[in-house]
Chain A
Amino acid sequence: MALDDQKRAFKYVGTTPNRPDGVDKVTGKAQYGADITAPGMLMGAVLRSPHPHARIVSIDTSAAEAMPGVRAVVTGKDFPAVEDQGFADIGETCMARDKVLYDGHPVAAIAATTPAIAKAAIRAIKVEYAPLPHVTDVDEAMLPDAPVVLEGRALEHVPAGMSQNVTNTCEFGHGDLEAGFTKADLILERSFKVGAAHQGYIEPNACMASYAADGRADLYCCTQGHFFVRAVCSALMGMEASQLRVTASEIGGGFGGKTTVFVEPVALMLSKKSGRPVKLVMTRDEVFKATGPTVHASVDCKIGMTKDGRITAGDMTLRYSGGAWPSGTIEMGAQAGFAAYDMPAVRTLGWTALTNRPKEISYRAPGAPQAVYAVESLIDEMCQQLGLDPVETRLKNAARKGTLSSYGVTFDDIGMVATLEAAKAHPHWSAPLGPNQGRGIAAGFWFNFGGNTCVSLNINADGTASVTEGNPDIGGSRASISLMAAEELGIPYDNIRTIVADTASLGYNDNTDGSRVTFAVGLATIKAARAAIKVMCDRAAAMWGIDAEAVEWIDGAAVPAGPNAGKFPPMSLAEIAAMSFQTGGPIAGHHEVNVDGAGVSFGVHICDVEVDPETGHTLVTRYTVAQDAGKAVHPTYVEGQMQGGAVQGIGWALNEEYIYGRDGRLQNAGFLDYRIPVASDLPKIDTVILEIPNPGHPYGVRGVGETPIVPPLAAVTNAVSRAIGKRMYQVPMSPPRIMTTIKGK
């Protein structure tokens, strides 16, 4: 669906009305995953492996089953085998079968009448393990003699003779690397490490399942995609999708981390075996140990540059591990790494290896921050060595319309140059710095996606409208969707209510991910509204006794199209709706589509830090984000996405990391030891929203949710490196790591 008109004047889109979920959330009425209850409900608890890698010899649940109040026990043997490998892998993350593959891997679950009984029963289960050698580091996992996590999972294009942990490889690029490096005046090659970060959502994963004796089931859960939950859970339970209705609760953050299931199939099986509703709520310890963080990464990056700052070639090798199961995230990182630049010669080579860690799941722009961190850090170091301005250098090399991207596609209209110019023009860029302070800048890129989407828009008899969509609202989408419906229908925002329907009420909707909802659901909403408008124009034409083609829709009313159509006063939406029962029945519009045409997005971040040379503590003193939103439908929400992504990236850059001991166990499974930034750690994040319309959306919308986490790792690194006068090559830059670099060790 193409862009309508770049000069269109919007009435509602671009305004910032109050969020429709605000009152419920600030008054505590909003129902999150753990808030759902049912009569007779049992409480679930999960037994998890203390070993990073072990064979399960036996599980004795007899003592637990004999305890008063215990109603059901579940192990891996209760789940039928699943043919689909992707679903089977997800199922095994929820409940181990023959082997445990990471510290925290579930091995059994209990449903009991109280949480205390469930916990006591968990302790009564006896599991005999045969521990196996483990590996938790990607570089070690790729060594030929590394302990093998899973056998036989390498894709067909992985070269023979490598460790069986290596499951995937990919290569992207174009041009003559050797010739490119020959033209360079400076060639630098550096190695980087990126820790695995958790999405850090505040609401733990939670669900309530109710499996009836007739084989039908209801599941309530906090998720980014209840249709996907239905697909996975129905497959793992061996039931038909139509018999499982999934309802998404309000969601306390996801950021990609709730695009899969961890407890839902277990709760369903416990409910099936007990005949009672079962609630399962993860503790924070369980969330850290057993829900997916990002990949962790090891990167070698080499760039050639002329004295005046032209990049002549870039070559990068990425090694990612997404835990104990194969992961495709490497392909995203390998494509995104150099995408912001116009490169005559470029290559990215990616590898994925299995480690004894939990299964990775998406986190905003999965795979891109790790790769872009290396590129943007190295460019900054080269600018320092050559005495070049880092913004001007990036402008000189920036991708623009007509650039052959590093992943093979020729760019259309994009915002890389505009975001760089915005950063350059921002007062932040030229503000003075004090002692021990440094300023870093970095660019970032993300693809954005569309996907399967269904929207139903009903015109109510009182002249209001209801929009029914199927994507959990994690970033304000109900407001944005209502705004786009208001824009099309020509009625006030407050006259529209958008709800997120359950899986029985709409066709399949892809997850709320890929920065897709405002783009794709918005597009479907616009089409649904236009379908409803067509019906309303037909009704007006019938009432006027003129041809339907002679009626058009202007500012919320049907009007005769031109003088030859007849002289009739405009007939408002409310008037047409009020007569809908007499003129043919209820009025609605629908649209079902698999949307493509999402526009890529660029962002540029500026970061100031002050580093304490005595302790290595880093304080972010100023931070600015410039990003292309295509069209900001609700600018406050857009700003929130940009600020939120930046904050999460700052946390990753400075503090956040999964730390495994030599015993292969996670050492910091809690917010005290895995420290995310809080408000008092941060300055106000300033934002500059740019609007370079996406040709693939009627209003020009691009996704905004993921790009802002891409630049911060390098922006903060470049600021810290300049502040301390030495380069940092690993994130997070914890105080001990900074002190080690300062002391030159």
Chain B
Amino acid sequence: MHHENPIVTFLGLQFNLANVLMITVASAIVFLLAVLSTRRLAMKPTGMQNFMEWIMDFVKNIINSTMDWKDGGRFHVLGITIIMYIFVANMLGLPFSVVVDGVLWWKSPTADPAVTLTLATLIVGLSHYYGVKLKGTAAYGKEFFKPFWFMFPIKIIEEFANTLTLGLRLYGNIYAGEILLTLLAGGLATGVGGHLAAILPTLAWQGFSVFVGAIQAFIFTMLTMVYLSHKVSSDH
């Protein structure tokens, strides 16, 4: 079940228009959701404000479980944005996918390794930036030779491994989920019997994918905070 991708080249950069579309859609949904639910702010929270405050507290707990709030408070906004964006992005590919003339347009943006690796690189890059900013260049550099100097190559490899695993874990989970959904919907559902047979596993897999999508959003945020705390906290 391989679909074509709508790729264009612009200013020497290759754009997958499906990704561009879905990134925009996911961002727009997150933005609208967040802005609409914080329009009428009140001391006594109601409705969506409660939900948003719950997300904020949830992320706050994640940060608190990995580092001091004094250090981690600055990553609160980043954490909330990441968890919401990735969750929404994961959910987008679940209800349906749109294929026009054999070209896949509607899918999860996180089902693309370029997108997830970008986010992962952003996180790891931020961790290095804040490591230098908060601890100073000398202390930051010393971390690479702890606990022993000959650990240096391993530490370097670790940084790349972190980036790769962070990005590819998300990509793999979501992409696999979508592939299976496509197979169930397209491959199995041939003829009346096939349709009937496909209903149950599709429902089951969609439910499971919602779970996986939520878990992956949580894991991504959690690991973001763990990587940031490794670089930022001084108790290592």
- A and B from one assembly? no
Q: What residues of chain A have their CB less than 8 Å away from a CB belonging to chain B? A: none
Q: What residues of chain B have their CB less than 8 Å away from a CB belonging to chain A? A: none
